[in-house]
Amino acid sequence: MSTGGGPSGSDTSGPRPDVNITPLIDVLLVMIIIFMVIKHKDPHRFESKIPEKPKEQQQVKSDTIFPVLTIDRQGVIRWNTQEKTEEQLKRELKEFLDNRPSDLRAAFIKAPRDVQYERVMKLIDLAKGAGASPIGLQIDNLD
């Protein structure tokens, strides 16, 4: 009979190393959930659309021209070249846009840089109230 602690014998006298991985898996799952929640909190960006250059020269039809609303430093509002009051503009622009398909209801607003922000926003609100969508802002020196 052999009492040795060799390979054939069973020596259970010392502590046996055992790694418990359950807490590690729990921490890993919690971190995955945290990263999934944080990923959806990314800030949203503004979408801007840049028009493409036309492939060929096209004839511009009279029904595809969009209104250009201009406001100057004194607060005078013009639709293309005609001077309008706010009430006239609201009424006439609504009539004009109601007779157009929904994809041709855009309007453009042009104002010098030194016009008060409040006046430009009021003109944007007026155009949106008349049914213009989308509304484009033209930059200075663009004729």
pLDDT in tens, 2-20: 555 555 555 567 788 888 8
Structurally, the chain folds into a number of domains equal to 1
Question: Is 17 contained in some domain?
Answer: no
In a domain, 13, yes or no: no
Whole-model pTM: value is 0.53
Residue 85 lies in a domain: yes
Evaluate whether residue 98 is within a structural domain: yes
Strands of the 68-71 sheet, one edge to the other: 82-84, 77-79, 68-71, 107-110, 135-138
List, in sequence order, the alpha helices (H) in 12-133: 22-39, 86-98, 117-130
The predicted model gives 87-112 an average pLDDT of 87
Rg over CA atoms, the chain? 35
User: What's residue 29's pLDDT?
Assistant: 94
Is 37 within a domain?
Answer: no
Share above pLDDT 90 across residues of the chain, in percent, rounded to a whole number: 6
Under the banding of pLDDT at 50, 70 and 90, the label for residue 59 is: low
Query: Residue 1 domain-assigned?
Result: no
List own/partner pairs for 71-79 with CB under 8 A and 24 or more apart.
71/109, 71/110, 71/111, 71/115, 71/119, 71/120, 71/123, 72/111, 72/112, 72/115, 73/112, 73/114, 73/115, 75/119, 77/123
Tokens of 18: 């055992």
- Residue span of the structural domain in which 100 resides: 68-139
Residue 39 inside a domain? The answer is no
- Residues 62-78: tens digit of each pLDDT: 455 888 888 888 888 88
Q: How far apart are CA 143 and CA 136, in angstroms?
A: 14
- Residue 9 domain flag: no
